[in-house]
Amino acid sequence: MTRLFTLILARALVFALIVAPCVYAKFGTSVRGAAVAPARTQSTRDTAGGELRNAASRGDLAEVERMLKTGADVNAKTRAA
């Protein structure tokens, strides 16, 4: 039992002293932070859809009609509004 505990402890020390610093040096951050994708930027299409959805939720039908005539994007969220 003591031998098993020593083996587990030795592996934990190897990881803590060798593997973890190498991973940190390679990614420049923690392993968890390295897997995070960058934030998605809004396209003009998303912005037009959002403006149309906002106008529809306000009940501004004239603005909705104007935006649809000028070709604003109508996506699923906009149709739901």
Dig out the tokens for 25 from the structure. Answer: 């040096």
Give the model's pLDDT for residue 60: 83
pTM surpassing 0.95?
A: no
Distance CA 45, CA 28 (A): 35
Give the model's pLDDT for residue 70: 76
Give the model's pLDDT for residue 7: 82
Distance CA 11, CA 7 (A): 6
Give per-residue pLDDT as tens, 18-77.
766 666 666 655 555 555 566 666 665 556 667 777 888 888 888 888 877 777 556 545
Distance CA 20, CA 28 (A): 11
